[in-house]
Each structure stands twice: as C-alpha cells, then as structure tokens.
Structure 1
Amino acid sequence: MSPNSIRAVTFGRVAPGLAVRDIQAAYAFYSQVLGFEKVFENGRPVGFMVLKKDAAEIHLSQKRDHVASTVNSCHMFVDDVAALYEICEAAGVRIIKSLQDKDYGQRAFVLADPDGNRIDVGERI
C-alpha cells in the first residue's frame, strides 16, 4: 500500500475508551449525571460497557488498578456547555478547569469522572 492510498480510506466515528476501577459506579455517574444510556455490555462479571447519548459514545473498561492521567482523556462537544456545567456543579462533580471562553473559539470546562478521567467539555462560540 502506498502512503497516498490512505486518502482513499474514509474514517467513521471514533469513541473514547476509558479505564475505570468500578464499572458499575462509573455507569452510575455517566447515566445519572450526564444522561448516557447503556447500549452494550460484555463479560461475567461485566468488564466492558458501551454508553451512548445522542451522537456521543463512551466505552468503559474495568481496570481495578487504574490510575488516571493528568491529561484530558477525551473531548466532548455539547450544544449548551453552560447548562452542563451547572448540572455538574449541582451534582458535586469535581471540576478541574472552570467554565470560560477560550481564545480558540470555544466555551469550555474540564471535569473529572469518579475515576479521575479528565473530560474536556466544550461548545463552539
């Protein structure tokens, strides 16, 4: 395959995979706070789960010794970042970076899920 032939390949959706120490606790957070629904799970006990909300999808994988990174695990775009920020604050979600307008044309904030995975949430302005 020549290097130029990659141009002929069309890429589809990419879904972030997040490691979590307790997959059921993570599911509770993503469903109850962020409104995601479980569309698939695998394993006995469950060790993998696919969550979906609108066009967004997150894949959770059980990893009991997971240690969160200090960089963002994924980026999500929403249509009302201020409303989601208020929801997260009211739910006691740990906010890493508060809501602010960025010089690159987004209003954004960074939250941490219960496992410390950092998620950058933004809206184009």
Structure 2
Amino acid sequence: MSASTIIPALRYADAPAAIEWLCNVLGCTKHAVYANADGTIAHAELALGGGMIMLGSAKDDVHGKRFKSPDEVGGVETRSAYVVVADADAVYAKAHAAGAVIVREIQNTDYGSREFAISDPEGHSWSVGTYDPWKAQG
C-alpha cells in the first residue's frame, strides 16, 4: 500500500461520533485514536486504501478558533474531499441507510466515474466515487 503525502485534517464538535460515522459509512478504519480523559479526541487517524484523514475534537484555543464546522456557518464550506471506492453503489446504500444528507445523487460521469456526494453529520462534504486519478481511465 502506498502512503498519501497529503492528509486532510478536520475538527468536529463530536469527534467520537464522527469517527464512527466515517468508519461505518465510508469504510474508514481506525489507524490511531488518542482520546482525552474527558472523552474528546486529541488526535485520530482514519485510513482508507492508501489515503488517510486526521481529525480531532473542536478546541476553544487560539488555533482551534480558526476552524468552524459548516453547520456553524450556514452550511458554507471551503473544502471537500473525494473518496475513491471500488463500488460506489454499495457505499451509497450504506450512506443512505445511515441517513446521510445526499448532496448529489449517484450518477455516471463523462470521465468514467460512478459517484455521489454527501454531507456528514456536522456538514462536511464528501464526494465518493470510482474515479481513481492514479489509474488509467478507459
């Protein structure tokens, strides 16, 4: 497995719930989770294929105040993540069953992907599809 050299990092008001949601819906696995004594998450690493995201609980410190969840700013977001999967229909079914907000219905694209977009429980955007830019398409 190759390792990603760009790793998105997010903050969540309820990081333990976000970890479970990302694992159950998107199929991430817990690579590392470091919990604080109060149950918040100091740092977590979730893996999927050769990629990873890092996340932690929202903090009320100087650095932490720079981050807002989309739910805190009227649903506006300045980033999105694309998750490459082998079977977009299976992940779509899991997301739908979990009550995910479907932002873009599953569809085939002109560039050979089968994909959809959802919002997680705190409003972060996740596009999910079969397009893999590392592999030749066709």
Q: Same fold (TM over 0.5)?
A: yes
The equivalent of 2:11 in structure 1 is 19
* Deviation at residue 61 of structure 1 after TM alignment: 2.5
* Deviation at residue 33 of structure 1 after TM alignment: 2.5
Rg comparison, structure with higher value: 1
CA 1:12–1:55: 2 relative to 1, 3 Å = closer
The structure 2 residue matched to 1:50, chosen from 40, 45, 58, is 45
Gaps of 5+ in 1: 1-10
State whether structure 2 residue 102 is matched by structure 1 residue 95.
yes
The structure 2 residue matched to 1:83, chosen from 86, 90, 101, is 90
CA distance in structure 1 between the partners assigned to 2:112 and 2:49 by the alignment:
23
Determine if contact 2:25/2:91 at 8 Å carries over to the other structure.
no
CA distance in structure 1 between the partners assigned to 2:27 and 2:110 by the alignment:
29
CA distance in structure 2 between the partners assigned to 1:33 and 1:12 by the alignment:
21
State whether structure 2 residue 91 is matched by structure 1 residue 104.
no
The structure 2 residue matched to 1:62, chosen from 35, 52, 57, is 57
* Deviation at residue 71 of structure 1 after TM alignment: 5.2
Determine if contact 1:72/1:119 at 8 Å carries over to the other structure.
no
Determine if contact 1:18/1:73 at 8 Å carries over to the other structure.
no
Indicate the SS of the match to 1:33. helix
- How many equivalent residue pairs? 115
Determine if contact 1:23/1:47 at 8 Å carries over to the other structure.
no
- Provide TM-score, normalisation by structure 1: 0.77
Indicate the SS of the match to 1:70. coil
- Provide TM-score, normalisation by structure 2: 0.70
The equivalent of 2:134 in structure 1 is none
CA distance in structure 2 between the partners assigned to 1:77 and 1:48 by the alignment:
24
Determine if contact 1:71/1:118 at 8 Å carries over to the other structure.
no
The equivalent of 1:123 in structure 2 is 130
The structure 2 residue matched to 1:31, chosen from 23, 41, 47, is 23
Q: Which has the higher strand share?
A: 1
